[in-house]
Amino acid sequence: MSKTALIIVDLQNDYFKGGKWELEGTEAATIKATSLLKRFREKGLPVVHIRHEFPTDDAPFFAPNSEGAKVYPPVQEVAGEPVVVKHQINSFRETGLKEVLDGLQVDSVLICGAMSHMCIDAVTRAANDFGYKCSVAHDACATLALEFDGVHVPAKQVHAAFMAALGFAYANVVSTEKLLAEI
C-alpha cells in the first residue's frame, strides 16, 4: 500500500506581489496548493514544508529572518508538520528531507510550489532518484519568464517545458483537480 506525503516547496512571501522576486501565477498556484494541503490534513496524510533561506543577509531574496523568507500564510505549517529549511536549490541537498520522508514511511511524494524551473525540478528529480514515486501538481506550481542567449521565454512556456520534461520520465504531472479526486 502506497503512502504519500505532500511536499510544499518555497511558497514564501518574496515570491508574491510586493516581494523581492515576484513570480507569475503564484497566487493561483497557492490556491491549488492550499486545496491539496486541506485534503491531506483532512485525511491525516503527511505534509512536509520546504522553506528556502539564503545563508547571508545580502541574498537577492529569502534573506535570513526576513519577512520575505516567511511562508505565505495560506500554506503555513501547523503543529506536527515538519519544516525543512534549505540553503540550496535541491531540497534534499544538505538537509534532513530524506530522513523526514523515511521517518514518515512514505514511498510516494506529491510536489507543488515554486519555482517550476528550479526547486520543483530539482526536488522531483532527486526524489525520483531516491526511489520515491513522484507526482507534481502542475497547476500548483509557479515560475517566471527567463531569457537565454537573447531569447525571451515567457513564464507559461518555461513552466510547460519543465513540466513536460518531468512528465516524460520523472513524475506523474497532473492537475490538482485530478489529484484531489484520487486522494
Where would I find the H helices in 121-175? 121-129, 155-169
pLDDT in tens, 53-86: 999 989 999 999 999 999 999 999 999 999 999 9
Q: Work out the mean pLDDT of the chain and round it to a whole number.
A: 96
Query: Rounded distance, CA 77 to CA 144, Å?
Result: 25
Cβ–Cβ under 8 Å, residues 52 and 119: yes
> Per DSSP, what are the bridge partners of residue 31?
none
Query: Rounded distance, CA 32 to CA 82, Å?
Result: 20
Query: Rounded distance, CA 17 to CA 123, Å?
Result: 25
Q: Where are the domains of the chain?
A: 4-182
38 in helix, strand or coil? helix
Q: What is the pTM of this model?
A: 0.96
In degrees rounded to 5, what are phi and psi of residue 142?
-140, 160
The CATH number of 4-182, from 3.40.50.850, 2.40.180.10, 3.90.1280.10, 3.40.1190.10, is: 3.40.50.850
- For residue 128, the surrounding DSSP H or E stretch is helix 121-129
* pLDDT level of residue 2 (50, 70, 90 thresholds): confident
Query: Rounded distance, CA 64 to CA 46, Å?
Result: 27
Query: Rounded distance, CA 183 to CA 179, Å?
Result: 6
